[in-house]
Structure 1
């Protein structure tokens, strides 16, 4: 049985709930769910340019866990772009 997921410190909320290819109805698209911690990891490392250790500390996880979260998030985003899938963004619960 896996360990329970610890609470993550999420510092942003997405402006929209999903991104999808233009001109295709949502009902006709396959979709990927991007978790709030995955979006936050992408924001910290790829957008703000933080190294993984400081980003992990801000997120409240180990560096290895941050690396795993980033890997999963990047794969989902790449798959959505290449295969024309919708990307649904999970919103973090309010603190």
Structure 2
């Protein structure tokens, strides 16, 4: 049994709950879920331009945890762009797997 997750401070929220390719019905798309903690890590590092150490302090996690969140979020975004999948914004930090 793994360690319980440390509570994470999440301030940003996505503008929409889903991004998908145009012209393809949602029922025909594979879905990839981006956790709220992954979204926050991307927002702080890629959008606000924070250093990982600073962003980790902002979220209340270790730098390594933040780096893992950013890596996972970037992979999910690239997967959606490369394979035409829908990117779903999870309502909490529980990470759902890809379909």
Deviations 1:16-47 (A, max 9, x none): 11000011110000010000000000000000
Aligned 1:50-69 pairs, distance under 5 A: 50-69=50-69
Structure-2 separation of matches of 1:30 and 1:16: 18
Structure-2 separation of matches of 1:55 and 1:62: 9
Deviations 1:30-86 (A, max 9, x none): 010000000000000000000000000001100000001111000000000000000
Long gaps (5+) in structure 2: 94-99
Long gaps (5+) in structure 1: none
Which TM-score applies when normalising by structure 1? 0.94
Asked if 1:45 is matched to 2:45, the reply is yes
Look up the match of 2:79: 79
Tell me the SS of whatever aligns to 1:14. Answer: coil
Structure-2 separation of matches of 1:75 and 1:89: 15
Tell me the SS of whatever aligns to 2:2. Answer: coil
Runs of 4+ in 1 over 6 A off after TM superposition: none
Task: Let me know the Cα RMSD of the aligned residues.
Answer: 1.1
Q: How many residues align?
A: 93
Look up the match of 1:11: 11
